[in-house]
Structure 1
Amino acid sequence: MSRRGLLQGAAGVAAASALGGCAMGGADDDGTTPDAKGSTSADNPLGVKEDAPLEVVIFNGGFGEEYAKAHEAMYEQRHPQAHVKHSATQQIAETLQPRFVAGDPPDVVNNSGSSQIDFNGLVSQGALTDLGELLDAPSLDDPATKVRDTLLPGIVDVGSYDGKFLSLNYAYSAYGVWYSQKLFDAKGWEYPKTWDQMIALCRTIKAAGIAPWTYPGVHARYLSWAILASAGKLGGLDVIKAIDNLEPNAWRHDAVKTAAEAYYQLAVDGFLQPGAEGMDHIQSQTEWCRGHAAFLSNGSWLENEQKSVTPPDFRMTVAPTPSLTTSDTMPYEAFRGTGSEPFIVPAKAKNVRGGLEYLRIMLSQKGAADFTRKVSSLTAVQGASAGIPLGPGLTSVTKLIDASKGSAFTWLYSSYYRKLERERVNAASLELFTKRITAAQWCDKVQKSADEFAKDPAIKKYKRA
């Protein structure tokens, strides 16, 4: 594909699809990378060249960019001869794809947002540095502890492709059902732990003149997260792994059908907020913050994203999806927890060593704690939020994690095959929640899409063990 063709393809999210046919600038033919290197030592275990400049590009989304400037200051403090060039954008693909193609990418990229560069294309063309060396490096806080041993469970899995750790998902996101504790206390309601209790409470909420649920119709996949979480809890992790591995009939598994039927019932019984089908995530979340709906399926970035409109006494709270039956494979306390906000070091970066060191600084207790203070989100680092005053939402997230006793889980298909979730599952979910298709038809529709991805030779496949 020509350079002109790539640039045309970079308009909007469709840019990601252009990667498959374009050389993305992987490692050199001999497998080496022409990056700056220095001498290794106890203080410089990754061999950073002390005077090599470092370029960092941040996605300027819900977390902003100030946290990154603090990390960059830490880098310059450790390596005073180095200068860090900082930039931030919401147009990651449009801005950086031409540089990947030209073999001149930045040293660190926060590859996030709706215009994220497709990981499938980056991985298949060898455009990313294997971060395994970072995992085995001594942590900044304790040289006797490897970086990998400071991370929360699942962080390495969600960033690994074909056995290589290629993406550091820095923020830790807990997904669940959100509600206002103030509203529930005022009404005398208790969060339901079973689906039968949920439906009973929804009737009560609707009778009180409040929509039981809202959701963003523009991003209807948000509510599909609750379906998959419930299916995983009902049928076990193998149900999720089959979906990740694009196995035939994975989306038609009885656990998935049962979960889809449960959430379809919300639409059939009139428990979804009227007009939600036309809302984006900010609009639906704002409706929820205003008390116009009781429940919302979302992730733990919600508190920070809504801080400008959330009433001070709202007491934002998250809970696991209710158990569908009394014999679910996983306990009620199990929830979807995973890394998000991916950071990569391009294989053709001029300062790969510096890029790895920058990530090591991010994963220090100081770097992680500063992130949490600035953006009200947990990080991938164990124990980094200890002693930090947290808002009600994030406090409830820590309680969710503690109560789960290690039973958190996640799926990877949305990382492996971004378009499958962002386009196909999203579109099918809107049809489901507007009652244009049934739960069984939703399962069939998504399975058909998954089968198309499985059969497409242009799409690189991944296997989750």
Structure 2
Amino acid sequence: MNRRSLLRATAVATAVMLSLTACITSSDDGDEPETESSGGGDASGAPAEITGDLEVVSFYPEGSPDFERLSGLAEAFEAQHDGVDVTLTFGGGQDVPQIEARWRADDPPDVNYGFLDVTLPDGGPWVAAGDTMNLQPAMEQPLEGYDGTWEEAILPGVRPLISVGDDIYGAPESVTTLQFFYNEAIFDELGIEVPETFDDLIAAADTIKAAGIAPFTVTGTFLPYMQVYWDYLALRHFGLDGLQQAIAGEAELASLPGAQEAAADLEALVADGNFLDGFRGVDFTSAQMSFFQGDAAMILMGSWLIGEMAAAIPADFQTGTFAFPTVDGGSGDQDGLFGGTNAQVVAAKGQNPDAAEAWLQFIADPANQTAYVESTGGISAYTGIPAPEGFEDVTAMLEEGAAFAPSYMGVLALSQEVQTAYQQPIAQLFFGEIDGATMLTQMSEGLQAAAG
């Protein structure tokens, strides 16, 4: 499948919140959940006067293109609300624990990522404790620039990713998907067709490797990027339900029909020099750079890749995309796509919930959403916003109400014991330290032990 037809069919209808860098998932407060939003306007929908300081968490560090983009939005928001002063606080990567500590100390930033887990009936501990504001009252009001309410402006397939029961607790910033990107020039030069099956993918890798080019690049320093290869093979071979049960300790991974075959396919994929030399010590930015420098022909990555690396992509570089190939004989989902939404929440104990709610509505403005798509290549979560080239089918899918399989299987939101049990054997296989059968045994035993 090429960049103009990313999906073969709708993805599986299982929804979770995706955090690009890390998920924040715990609270010790036992209070009851908030039932109403306290900001953004009165019951009639009339806007409240917005004043005071507003602190917004950014996943992007100061100096990065995305931080500069957010800085521009902050200046525009301040111009729109003369009495507001916006501060952007980095809250990604190594700074995630600091943001969580501030939530625990009842001094949270006003607008945050995480603090919402829609895979749990109560939305997770922060929602259950009332620390994450219920946005449903605001969602039922008209949203400027759209026909209908704020809730109706959000793509139907995205709404489950931000909802707990009948209430919405997060506002989507964008949609992300995980698929292969490939160097069109290398494929054309070597006469390679876009792989449709896993066997096609292995054959393409053999041809590319014979030409002296690494078929794939990946970072060896961030385990989820290696994990997603296994996730996709498991999804294709035996499906989402069995994998989720195994991660929860409710089933033995190694005993699931198709699990052995998935492990063998992963071993075949990582064996014999298919990945760029030295990837074990390469961070994700360097891995992405090696793709755009032509050192590797393919990279399995999120839809944020083009926008994230825009400044480093050669002007004549032609990028194609294709969904993770199907598996002949697999009993799992052959069309499912991993993805989710980057959503922001309002801290109920923040200093300025009115301004925070207004900020989320400002991000949703059609002009700002269109500018986001055009400047980053990202996918909007809102209706009527044109998709970037190559991702039109994603928007169509979400308009029809289909949702994603949970990116990284939601493992980032689970305990460190579960993360280690699931991810470390995969990394060991990639590093050539164990074979596929050993990886599967270690994962299965580790997950059972983590479940107690």
1:383 aligns with 2:384: yes
The change in CA–CA distance for 1:270 and 1:290 in structure 2 (over 3 A counts) is: same
Please give the alpha-carbon distance, in whole angstroms, between the structure 2 residues aligned to 1:299 and 1:33.
Answer: 34
Aligned partner of 2:4 in structure 1 is none
Aligned partner of 2:280 in structure 1 is 277
Which amino acid letter does the alignment assign opposite residue 352 of structure 2?
A: N
Q: Which residue of the other structure, out of 156, 159, 179, is the alignment partner of 2:159?
A: 156
State the shift of 1:408 in Å: 5.8
The change in CA–CA distance for 1:444 and 1:211 in structure 2 (over 3 A counts) is: same
1:306 aligns with 2:309: yes
Which amino acid letter does the alignment assign opposite residue 397 of structure 1?
A: F
State the shift of 1:173 in Å: 0.9
Please give the alpha-carbon distance, in whole angstroms, between the structure 1 residues aligned to 2:246 and 2:384.
Answer: 32
Aligned partner of 2:60 in structure 1 is 60
1:431 aligns with 2:435: no
1:293 aligns with 2:290: no
Q: Which residue of the other structure, out of 405, 409, 421, is the alignment partner of 1:410?
A: 405
Deviates more, 1:84-93 or 1:182-191: 84-93
The change in CA–CA distance for 1:50 and 1:279 in structure 2 (over 3 A counts) is: closer
Aligned partner of 1:463 in structure 2 is none
Q: Which residue of the other structure, out of 193, 198, 204, is the alignment partner of 1:195?
A: 198
State the shift of 1:168 in Å: 3.7
Aligned partner of 1:336 in structure 2 is 338
1:206 aligns with 2:209: yes
State the shift of 1:240 in Å: 4.9
The change in CA–CA distance for 1:160 and 1:246 in structure 2 (over 3 A counts) is: farther
Which amino acid letter does the alignment assign opposite residue 142 of structure 2?
A: P
Q: Secondary structure at the match of 2:261?
A: helix
State the shift of 1:366 in Å: 1.8
Which amino acid letter does the alignment assign opposite residue 392 of structure 2?
A: T
Q: Which residue of the other structure, out of 134, 138, 149, is the alignment partner of 2:142?
A: 138
**What CA deviation, in whole Å up to 9, does each residue of 1:45-79 have, x standing for no partner?**
xxx3444543323232466223334444554465x
Aligned partner of 2:180 in structure 1 is 177
The change in CA–CA distance for 1:152 and 1:225 in structure 2 (over 3 A counts) is: farther
Aligned partner of 1:451 in structure 2 is 448
Please give the alpha-carbon distance, in whole angstroms, between the structure 2 residues aligned to 1:30 and 1:204.
Answer: 57
**What CA deviation, in whole Å up to 9, does each residue of 1:391-447 have, x standing for no partner?**
xxx522335665998766222523542746764433222101123223233233333
Aligned partner of 1:368 in structure 2 is 369
Aligned partner of 2:9 in structure 1 is none
Q: Secondary structure at the match of 2:207?
A: helix
Deviates more, 1:180-189 or 1:103-112: 103-112
Q: Secondary structure at the match of 1:347?
A: coil
Please give the alpha-carbon distance, in whole angstroms, between the structure 1 residues aligned to 2:403 and 2:190.
Answer: 30
Q: Which residue of the other structure, out of 216, 221, 243, is the alignment partner of 1:218?
A: 221
Which amino acid letter does the alignment assign opposite residue 356 of structure 1?
A: E
1:317 aligns with 2:320: yes
The change in CA–CA distance for 1:249 and 1:53 in structure 2 (over 3 A counts) is: same
The change in CA–CA distance for 1:216 and 1:249 in structure 2 (over 3 A counts) is: same
CA contact (8 A) 1:216 1:278 kept: yes
Q: Which residue of the other structure, out of 383, 392, 403, is the alignment partner of 1:398?
A: 392
State the shift of 1:190 in Å: 1.0
CA contact (8 A) 2:179 2:300 kept: yes
Aligned partner of 2:8 in structure 1 is none
CA contact (8 A) 2:51 2:82 kept: yes
Aligned partner of 2:105 in structure 1 is 102
State the shift of 1:337 in Å: 2.8
**What CA deviation, in whole Å up to 9, does each residue of 1:8-53 have, x standing for no partner?**
xxxxx99979x65x55xx86x7958996685343443xxx344454
CA contact (8 A) 2:157 2:402 kept: no
Which amino acid letter does the alignment assign opposite residue 323 of structure 2?
A: P
Which amino acid letter does the alignment assign opposite residue 280 of structure 1?
A: D
**TM, length-normalised to structure 2:** 0.79
Aligned partner of 1:458 in structure 2 is none
**What CA deviation, in whole Å up to 9, does each residue of 1:147-173 have, x standing for no partner?**
233323543333446776434442211
**What CA deviation, in whole Å up to 9, does each residue of 1:271-300 have, x standing for no partner?**
222221221212222222222212211111
Please give the alpha-carbon distance, in whole angstroms, between the structure 2 residues aligned to 1:241 and 1:152.
Answer: 26
Q: Secondary structure at the match of 1:395?
A: coil
CA contact (8 A) 2:37 2:134 kept: no
Please give the alpha-carbon distance, in whole angstroms, between the structure 1 residues aligned to 2:33 and 2:285.
Answer: 48
CA contact (8 A) 1:16 1:121 kept: no
Please give the alpha-carbon distance, in whole angstroms, between the structure 2 residues aligned to 1:30 and 1:180.
Answer: 49
Please give the alpha-carbon distance, in whole angstroms, between the structure 1 residues aligned to 2:423 and 2:85.
Answer: 39
State the shift of 1:208 in Å: 0.8
Q: Secondary structure at the match of 2:340?
A: strand
State the shift of 1:207 in Å: 0.9
CA contact (8 A) 2:34 2:130 kept: no
Q: Which runs of 5+ in 1 are unaligned?
A: 1-12, 113-118, 387-393, 456-465
- Aligned CA RMSD, in angstroms, stands at 3.6
Aligned partner of 1:7 in structure 2 is none
The change in CA–CA distance for 1:198 and 1:50 in structure 2 (over 3 A counts) is: closer
